[in-house]
Structure 1
Amino acid sequence: MLKSASTPVPTADRVLQVLAVLAQHGQALSATELMERTGLARSTLYRQLARLKNWGFVLESDGHYAPGPLSLQLALGFDLASHLVRQARPDMVALAQQSHESVGLIVAVNDQAICLDMVESQQSLRCSFEKGRSVPLRAGASAKCVLAHLPKAARAAVLDAHHGPASAERQAALDELDAICLAGFATSAGEVDPGVWGASVPLFGASRQAVGAITLMAPILRAQGQEQDLIRMAVVTAARISRHLTLH
């Protein structure tokens, strides 16, 4: 799990911690910002940045740091090799065409929901969850859906971190996640981005373990009155993708 500034990080993992923070924030960060987000001393941080720059994983410009060209090559290699993306994309395209709305492929990494792939609506007013963007596993259909289907120990760790090990808020969150598992999908309206409605459905691999989710997203005003049809389309598409994943 990505460590917070208050959580000690093993010495050997510090360079990965810096790279993970840069990747997660999607923008160039100053050394001061990186110190705040990693909890590393300035001298330690600069040692890690020097290693990452030397290998091409980080670029420095005007005292700010961002993922470098080797990070982009890793991303390209992921796009070309990812089994989940390759299996899901054709049906995501079909769902976007059928619904006239945007469709995202979401996975849980550490305590974040990350968008692996995105098929955008062709309508002028559309919702989008940028490829590579991440949000905490707290609010929104995508985050709640992937969190609900994590292994119990991983789900409990996230809930403990967010709410504490024993609280009314934690129990309420757990009850909501159990209800999502029972229903087979999660929905939300404006929880992450104002004006955005979403329906997220889990994807299952060969072991019947959840490997991610697809999320159909639309402007709230356009989704009103169409929610059940949109949910049904997303559920059918997720089932089709899951069949592909179990066969390949």
Structure 2
Amino acid sequence: MATACFDTAAMSKSASSAAVPTADRVLQVLAVLARQGKTLSAAELMEHTGLARSTLYRQLARLKRWGFVLESDGHYAPGPLSLQLALGFDLASHLVRLARPGMLELAQQSQESVGLIVAVNDQAICLDMVESQQSLRCSFEKGRSVPLRAGASAKCVLAHLPEAARAAVLDSLWGPGTPARQAAQDELDAIRQAGFAVSAGAVDPGVWGCSVPLFGASRQAVGAITLMAPILRSQGHEEALIRMTVVAAARISRQLVLH
């Protein structure tokens, strides 16, 4: 997922470290494990969640008992029941099923990689990927997430969130009424007006990307598709790649509206 950064100097604490209701703490631990993409020690989990050690161990015990978490040598990772959830998502996801043909067509036409991105809380998450067949290609792993503050994909889905949700994310990242928040808001407004976001080399060095929103039957944005290419290969072809992505997104949106 190609990305470019807003000014994060004024960024406040992320939602993962904020206080959460007691009933949600077990989900907070599971969400942190899902996002990291690696095993974590108890100390690392405490740092990411802000939970006390005794509270953390109680949540881990519940998750282990149900098969959502595995422990090995004092490190924790998503368990087999998490894999079953992922399999069920692949089989049942309406958005993935309807977007996949358009993503395959765009990847074939552009000879580049294409990702399907959605916003969940304060993260942009890759639901599906179609890899380029070229030896030099840009990959963003299915299931990977990045904060909603940086990059073409993150900016695109953030720009098209409902107004209240968008404002809440901006407030949490840059603080209400700050110059940085206003600059971010102005950039998101420009993205909404243009209908796409582009970026180059911000999070993944050497990667250019274009992200275009997808709209469902209610005309609410339900996600975005992002075309990813090496900067060296995209140079001089940006307008053509943007056009391809915009057309592909429109076709997918029509399928979402019809179904």
Q: TM-score range by the shorter chain?
A: over 0.9
**TM-score with structure 2 length normalisation?**
0.94
Structure 2 partner of 1:4: 16
2:111 aligned to 80, 100, 109, which one? 100
2:233 aligned to 219, 222, 234, which one? 222
Measure the CA separation in 2 of the matches of 1:215 and 1:82: 18
Q: Deviations over 1:162-203 (max 9, x none)?
A: 111011111111110000000000000011111000000000
Q: Deviations over 1:58-79 (max 9, x none)?
A: 0001100000000000001001
Residue pairs, 1:196-215, within 5 angstroms: 196-215=207-226
Measure the CA separation in 2 of the matches of 1:128 and 1:214: 14
Please give the secondary structure, in 1, of the residue aligned with 2:219: coil
Superposed CA RMSD in Å reads 0.8
Structure 1 partner of 2:180: 169
Measure the CA separation in 2 of the matches of 1:186 and 1:64: 38
Q: Does 1:155 align with 2:166?
A: yes
By how many angstroms is 1:4 displaced? 2.8
Residue 123 of structure 2 aligns with an amino acid whose one-letter code is Q
Q: How many percent identity over aligned positions?
A: 84
Measure the CA separation in 1 of the matches of 2:219 and 2:171: 26
Q: Is the 8 A contact 2:16 2:28 kept in 1?
A: no
Structure 2 partner of 1:67: 78
Q: Is the 8 A contact 1:3 1:17 kept in 2?
A: no
Q: Does 1:117 align with 2:122?
A: no
Measure the CA separation in 1 of the matches of 2:205 and 2:83: 31
Measure the CA separation in 1 of the matches of 2:16 and 2:88: 28
Residue 106 of structure 1 aligns with an amino acid whose one-letter code is I
Please give the secondary structure, in 2, of the residue aligned with 1:84: helix
Please give the secondary structure, in 2, of the residue aligned with 1:127: coil
Residue 178 of structure 1 aligns with an amino acid whose one-letter code is D
By how many angstroms is 1:3 displaced? 3.2
Residue pairs, 1:46-57, within 5 angstroms: 46-57=57-68
Measure the CA separation in 2 of the matches of 1:22 and 1:139: 21
By how many angstroms is 1:220 displaced? 0.3
Q: Give the gaps of 5 or more residues in structure 2.
A: 1-13
Residue 67 of structure 2 aligns with an amino acid whose one-letter code is G
By how many angstroms is 1:9 displaced? 1.5
Q: Give the gaps of 5 or more residues in structure 1.
A: none
Measure the CA separation in 1 of the matches of 2:175 and 2:141: 31
Q: Is the 8 A contact 2:25 2:59 kept in 1?
A: yes
Q: Is the 8 A contact 2:211 2:226 kept in 1?
A: yes
By how many angstroms is 1:33 displaced? 0.4
Structure 2 partner of 1:26: 37
Q: Is the 8 A contact 2:16 2:32 kept in 1?
A: no
Aligned length: 246
Q: Does 1:243 align with 2:228?
A: no
Please give the secondary structure, in 2, of the residue aligned with 1:206: coil
Please give the secondary structure, in 2, of the residue aligned with 1:4: helix
1:179 aligned to 184, 190, 195, which one? 190
Measure the CA separation in 2 of the matches of 1:44 and 1:164: 29
Please give the secondary structure, in 2, of the residue aligned with 1:156: helix
Please give the secondary structure, in 2, of the residue aligned with 1:16: helix
